[in-house]
Amino acid sequence: MSRKRMVVALVALVALVALTSLTASAQDASTVISNASKAMGVDNLNSVMFYGSGANFGLGQNNNANGPWPRTNLNDYTRAIDFTQPASRATWVTYAAPVTGGPAVQANGQQNIAAANNAWAQHLEIWITPWGFLKGASANNATAKSQTVAGKRYSIVTWNTPQKAPSGESYRVVGYINPQNLVDKVETWLENPIFGDMLVEGIYTDYRDNNGFKFPGTIVQKRGGWPTFEAQLLGANPNPRNIQQLVTPPAAGQRGGAAAAGGGPAAPTGAQSEKLADGVYRITGGYVALAVEFSDHIVIFEGGPQNEARSQAIMAEAKRVIPNKPIRYSILSHHHFDHSSGLPAVVAEGVTIITHENNKAFLEKALNAPRTLAPDAMSKSGKKPKIETVAEKRVLQDASRTLEIHHIVGLPHADGMLIAYLPKERIVAFADMFNFPAANEPVPNPPVVGTQVFVDNFERLKLDFNTLVSVHPPNPDRPMTRGDVLKSLGRGN
């Protein structure tokens, strides 16, 4: 054999070996998937409808930054999934007291996932179900390996989505198939402004059988380590005849209740400002911020709300109205994600975050987590978060200005809530304790707890103010005074 022929033969052999091992592993995965598919009754499954009771949990809305997301019970929960379109619709009924006060009310809720919007944030709800996972695995060149987890031998099947993350990568989907060939758990990762690459887990237990079709009696979905959804299923039907009707939302105008979290319209990003005093500006156009001028820098109250774009717009507006000074601090009212999702942009700007001490460990861990799915301003800048804390009170002061930061105690909404107080200008900036009733609306009865807590705190701290700046402006937007707060409790000055 000539040297050249030998090389060719060797290359062919290497290629053959590579091909053989690839086939072996793919075949292994296809056997695992086909066994699970048979055991669970997925082979001829095109759609499913299931029902029971459940709960939604507000991601990033917990009272304490280290605790579970707050729960809302869902009655009459039903969900249909058509894997062929794919599309899904869930409906439920809630019963809760509104945050603006008054008696509890019944409300309808729904979540609609259409084929047209196939972003992974929506469609993962279809593909991380036990049945959807197996269908996705058959269609997307899954790989399989065997592994013992907590003493149980699992076939772990992994596939990558046709959907691409903002980084250009596919999302990864990992399923744990138990020795009975049932899917116990499915994991994927989704971009999140606070958590970065956020783990999403679907956990399926208490399997039941409906004529060969297997469904979990209990479903738990976790995001960021805590449940965001759970359901106890009373039943599940494969291939319901009216699936098209079940997954189609009613025509506009007949829809009731709030849409489920996620997929809402983008927040407005334009920023305007209103001068409240020399060097003090209320920045509007979305969540409201307060920009305060010091001798050689700027301090912003709520500089990182909503998203990166809103946060950048707030900081740009602050620098426009207070030119030639850097932003040194951004004070975070509280850790809830709608108030903190712009913090990566704040970090990228080199601004130090001031937050209540209860939030520090959580924010440091979350903001330092990898951001491979959707690189943000922070990860692109290479900057690390700088976080300083307040326990009960901190004063930012120089020759030109005094700004006090106070902790609001006893608030059910969040235990690490801060307000900003300008004693000379008699201004208080705050978030999420109460909304002002519209003009001519009666005093809320029962009273709003957050209003009472705020009044208790400003009386305890002896804050003398007559201008209130709310991160959520009243509707219609108008100046708010100390008298307006007391009036909303049915009290005079």
SS3 of 484, please? Answer: helix
CB 396 within 8 A of CB 329: yes
- The 8-class DSSP code of residue 359 comes to G
Q: State in angstroms the smallest separation of the CB of 336 from Zn ion.
A: 3
For residue 169, give the DSSP letter. P
Q: How would you class 293 by CB atoms within 10 Å of its CB: exposed for 0-12, middle for 13-18, buried for 19 or more?
A: buried
**Of residues 98 and 483, the one with the C-beta less far from Zn ion:** 98
CB contact at 8 A, 323 and 402: no
The residues that bridge with 470 in the sheet, in sequence order, are: 430
Q: Which residue is nearest to Zn ion (CB)?
A: 336
**Least CB distance from residue 338 to Zn ion, whole Å?**
7
Which residues contribute to the site for Zn ion (CB under 5 A)? 336, 432
Contact 409, 372 (CB under 8 A): no
CB of 432 to Zn ion, least distance (A): 4
Residue 164 beta carbon to Zn ion: minimum distance, rounded to whole angstroms: 32
In the 8-state DSSP scheme, what is residue 86? Answer: T
CB of residue 92 vs Zn ion: minimum separation in angstroms? Answer: 23
Burial of residue 323, with CB atoms counted within 10 A of its CB: 0-12 exposed, 13-18 middle, 19 or more buried:
exposed
Smallest separation, CB 411 to Zn ion (Å): 10
> At its nearest, how many Å lie between Zn ion and the CB of residue 69?
12
Residue appearing with tokens 């208080």: 428
Which residues, including other chains, have CB under 8 Å from residue 403's CB and lie 6 or more apart? Answer: 292, 299, 395, 396, 397, 420, 421, 422
Tell me if 113 sits within 8 A of 88, measured CB to CB. yes
> Measured from the CB atom, is 410 or 483 closer to Zn ion?
410
Nearer Cβ to Zn ion (336/360): 336
Q: Could you give the count of Cα atoms lying within 13 Å of 489 in the half-sphere of its Cβ?
A: 17
